[in-house]
C-alpha cells in the first residue's frame, strides 16, 4: 500500500492484527487445551484456564478400543496414494501445457472448471458405479475419487512452477542432443523439486482433510480420521474429551506441513495466483 503511514496508524493496524490473530488462533488453542483436560475440568463452569494436564483422552484415543489409530493409518494410505496418483497424471500434462501450450487456455480452464463441481453431485452416480464394482469401503476408492478434487489444483500448481523455468534452458539442452525425456529428467524435475514436493503435500493435505466423500464411500474398514472424529458424536452424548483429542491428532500433520511448506502451499490453494 502507500509507503509511509503515521505511527498512530501503525499502532491501530497492529492492534487490529492482534485482534484477528486471537480470533483465528483461539479456537485452535481451545481445542488443544480441552483435549488435555480431564472430564471434570472439561465440564467445569467457569471454564478452567489453568488446569492439571491429563493425557487420559489421548490414552483412550490411541487404545484399541477407539480404533482411531487405524483411521489415522487409513487416512495416510488414502492421502499418500492419492498424492502419488495425482502427481503421475499431472506432471506430464502440466509439462506439455507449459512447454507446448497443449490445449491452450481452454484446456487449462477446463481443468479449473472441474474444481467447481460440488462433490455431492459427483458422489451420487459414482456411489452407484463404485457399489456395482465392489469398490465401496476399499482402500483404493478414496485415492481414485480424490483425483477429481486434487488434479485441477495440481495441474495449475505444477504448470506455474514449470513456467518459471526459462525455455532457453530446455533449448540449449536440445541443442546439445538431449531428448525430451532427458530434458524432463535432467533439467525440469531437479529444478522444480520444491514445487513437486509442495504439490504432493498439497494433495496429501486436501485428501487428509476431506470428509464428505470419505463419509459416503467408507463403511468400516477404510474409515478415515475426519469420519472417525465425527463418529464420536453419538446419539446419547457428545464425548468432547475424545473429540478434541482426535481432532488435535487429525490436525497436527496438516499444520506442521503448512509451517514447513507455507509459501508453495498457498500457491496451490490459489491456483498459482500467488507467486
Partner 1 sequence: MTKILNFFNIGRVGNYPLYMVLPAVIVLLLLTIYPFIYLVYVSLYIWPISPTLPRIFLGFGQFTYLFSNPAFIESMQVTINLMVVGVTIQISLGMLLAILLSTKSRITNYFTLPFMVPVFVSPVVVGLIWKFMFNYDLGILNYLLNVIGLESVNWLGTTTTAFWSVVIIDTWQWTPFTTLIIKAGLDSMDPTPQEAATVDGASRFQIFTLVTFPSIAPIFAVALLFRTLDAFKAFDIIYIVTRGGPGGSTYVLGYNIWKTAFYQNQLGLAAAMSVVMIIIATILAFILVRIMKGLMER
Binding residues among 114-153 for partner 1 as defined by CB under 8 A: 114, 116-129, 131, 144-145, 147-148, 151
| Closest separation in Å from C-beta 135 to partner 1 | 13
Contact residue for partner 1 among 103, 139, 165, 187 (CB under 8 A):
103
Range 38-57, binding partner 1 (CB under 8 A): 42-43, 45-47
- Please name which of 81, 141, 120 lies closest in space to residue 212, comparing C-alpha atoms: 120
- Cell of residue 163, nine digits: 513456467
Cα–Cα dist 222/133, whole Å: 16
Question: Which positions from 11 through 40 interact with partner 1, judged by CB under 8 A?
Answer: 13-14, 16-17, 20-21, 23-25, 27-28, 30-31, 34
Instruction: Report the distance separating Cα 185 and Cα 17, nearest Å.
Output: 45
Q: Which of 8, 52, 64, 175 binds partner 1 (CB under 8 A)?
A: 175
Site for partner 1 in 152-171 (CB under 8 A): 155, 171
Interface positions, 187-246, toward partner 1 (CB under 8 A): 205, 208-212, 216, 225-227, 229-230, 233, 238, 240, 243-244
Selected range binding partner 1 among 53-61, 63-71, 104-112, 191-199, rule: CB under 8 A: 104-112
99 binds partner 1 (CB under 8 A): yes
Least CB distance to partner 1 at residue 88 (A): 8
How many chain residues bind partner 1 (CB under 8 A)? 101
Closest distance to partner 1 from the beta carbon of 103 (Å)? 6
Amino acid at each position: 500500500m502507500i509507503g509511509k503511514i503515521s505511527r498512530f496508524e501503525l499502532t491501530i493496524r497492529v492492534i487490529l492484527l492482534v485482534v484477528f490473530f486471537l480470533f483465528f488462533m483461539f479456537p485452535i488453542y481451545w481445542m488443544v487445551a480441552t483435549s488435555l483436560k480431564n472430564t471434570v475440568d472439561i465440564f467445569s463452569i467457569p471454564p478452567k484456564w489453568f488446569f492439571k494436564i491429563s493425557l487420559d483422552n489421548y490414552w483412550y484415543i490411541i487404545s484399541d478400543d477407539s480404533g482411531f489409530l487405524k483411521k489415522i493409518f487409513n487416512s495416510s494410505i488414502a492421502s499418500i496414494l492419492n498424492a502419488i496418483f495425482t502427481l503421475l497424471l499431472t506432471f506430464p500434462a502440466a509439462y506439455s501445457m507449459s512447454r507446448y501450450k497443449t490445449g491452450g487456455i481452454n484446456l487449462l480452464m477446463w481443468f479449473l472448471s472441474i474444481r467447481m463441481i460440488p462433490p455431492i453431485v459427483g458422489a451420487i452416480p459414482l456411489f452407484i458405479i463404485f457399489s456395482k464394482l465392489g469398490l465401496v469401503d476399499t482402500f483404493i476408492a478414496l485415492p481414485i475419487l480424490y483425483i477429481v478434487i486434487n488434479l485441477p489444483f495440481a495441474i495449475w500448481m505444477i504448470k506455474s512452477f514449470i513456467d518459471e523455468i526459462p525455455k532457453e534452458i530446455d533449448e540449449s539442452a536440445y541443442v546439445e542432443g538431449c531428448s525430451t525425456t532427458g530434458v524432463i529428467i535432467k533439467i525440469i524435475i531437479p529444478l522444480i523439486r520444491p514445487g513437486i514436493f509442495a504439490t504432493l503435500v498439497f494433495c496429501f493435505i486436501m485428501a487428509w482433510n476431506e470428509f464428505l466423500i470419505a463419509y459416503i464411500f467408507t463403511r468400516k474398514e477404510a474409515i478415515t480420521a475426519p469420519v472417525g472424529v465425527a463418529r464420536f458424536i453419538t446419539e446419547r452424548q457428545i464425548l468432547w474429551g475424545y473429540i478434541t483429542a482426535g481432532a488435535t491428532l487429525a490436525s497436527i500433520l496438516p499444520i506442521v506441513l503448512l509451517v514447513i511448506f507455507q509459501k508453495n502451499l498457498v500457491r496451490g490453494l490459489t491456483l498459482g495466483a500467488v507467486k
